[in-house]
Chain A
C-alpha cells in the first residue's frame, strides 16, 4: 500500500498573495483593538497593503489579498457572516470596483493618494448602502454620513501618503521581494 500524497503546487504568485494577505490581516487585527469614537470609523490600514499590491502586482492580486483579508480577518475576529462581516465585504467590494476603474487614471497626475482617497470614499459608500438598505433602513443613519465621509477623506489621505512613501522608497519594502533562493 502506497501512501497517497496530494501535492498542491503553489506558484510564486500564490506565495506573494499569501504574504501580503497575512500582512493585511495583521493590520486588520491590530486595528480591531483600537478604540473608535464611532463604530465604522477606522483608519483602514489594511487598505495600504491593497494599494501597494495593486500598484506593484496588479488588480488580480489586489482582489485576492483584499478578499482573503476580509474572510480570514472576520474568522479570526469571530465576526464571520455577522453584519460586521457583510459591512466590511461590501466596503472591500466597492473600493475594489473603484480602484479597478481608477487604476486607468494617468499615473503622472494621480498618485497613490488619489487611489487611496477614492477607495476610502467607495468603501464608506458601500457600507452605508448596506446599512441604509438592509440593516437600519431609517433616514437617521444618513445624518452620520458627513462624519463618515470626513473620516474617509482624512484616513484616505493618510493611508495614501503612507502608500506613496513606501512606493517611492528605493529599497522595495518587503513586498516585491520574491524568493530568489
Chain B
C-alpha cells in the first residue's frame, strides 16, 4: 500500500516543522537544563565551556602544571591540582549553577553556569 498520494506538499512541511519542534523540545529540556554547563577559565581567559551531561576528564595547563577536572553524574570537580594548598580540590563536587572551584596558584577556575545564579559574587 502506497501512502505518498495521501500526502500533499504542505503536509510534508507540517511534518518537518513537527520534527523541528520535537528536536527543539528535546534539546531544550534534555540538554539545556539550568546548571548544566561547566565553564573552565585559565589566566582569566575562557578555556572550555562544556555540558555536564557527558562524563569526561579535562586537563587544563597552567603555570605550575596541569589541573585535572572531572565531570561525572552531572557534577564536576577538580581531581588534582599542582597548587600547594589544594583548596579547589577540597571544594569537592560542584553541581549547582553558580558554584565554583578556584585554583588560584595555577590560575584555573571551574564554574557551573546556568540560567539562574544562586549568588552574584563570592568573597573569601
Contacts and interface: CB of A to CB of B under 8 A. Distances in A.
A149 B25 contact: yes
- What's the dominant secondary structure at chain A's contact region? helix
A146 B15 contact: no
B7 A146 contact: no
Q: How large is the interface on B (under 10, 10 to 19, 20 to 34, 35 or more residues)?
A: 10 to 19
A73 interface: no
B116 to A, nearest CB: 12
Interface string A126-158: 000000000000000011011001101100110
A119 to B, nearest CB: 11
Contacts of B22: 146, 149-150, 153
Nearest to B21: A149
Contact of B25 (A146, A160, A165, A168): A146
A160 B11 contact: yes
A152 to B, nearest CB: 7
A164 B15 contact: no
Nearest to A143: B29
A113 B17 CA distance: 13
Contacts of A117: 11, 14-15, 18
Contacts of A113: 6-8, 11, 14-15
A118 B14 contact: yes
B17 to A, nearest CB: 9
A109 to B, nearest CB: 4
Given A153-B19, A156-B18, A165-B3, 19 more contacts: A105-B10, A106-B10, A109-B9, A111-B7, A111-B11, A113-B6, A113-B11, A114-B8, A117-B11, A142-B29, A143-B30, A145-B25, A145-B29, A146-B25, A149-B18, A149-B25, A150-B22, A152-B18, A161-B3
